[in-house]
């Protein structure tokens, strides 16, 4: 989802060195303008937070159900981005 958001922002000539820049700008340019539903921003942030837990927690295990949900969300996010970019 991060790379999808990053690609959408790149279409506007926007690039960032930090995740927070991508998160904020995706919200500003795509969610607050009504181009994308707010759920995509929430999914982006939730996935990032889970990634941080996975990377830095001493012991992390995710449920299969959680992982399947993230994959489903990422696919939907990508499909929405493709549809937007095709216009």
Could you read off the pLDDT of 11-50 as tens digits, one per residue? 999 999 999 999 999 999 999 999 999 999 999 999 999 9
Q: Give the integer Cα–Cα distance in Å for 52 and 32.
A: 26
State if pTM tops 0.85: yes
* Segments making up each domain of the chain, as ranges: 2-86
Half-sphere exposure of 42 (CA within 13 A, CB side): 3
């Amino acid at each position: 989802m991060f790379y999808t958001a990053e690609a959408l922002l790149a279409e506007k000539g926007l690039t960032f060195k930090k995740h927070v820049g991508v998160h904020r700008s995706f919200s500003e340019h795509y969610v607050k303008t009504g181009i994308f539903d707010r759920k995509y921003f929430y999914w982006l942030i939730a996935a990032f937070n889970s990634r941080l837990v996975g990377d830095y927690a001493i012991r992390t295990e995710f449920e299969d159900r959680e992982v399947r949900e993230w994959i489903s969300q990422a696919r939907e996010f990508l499909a929405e981005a493709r549809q937007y970019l095709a216009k």
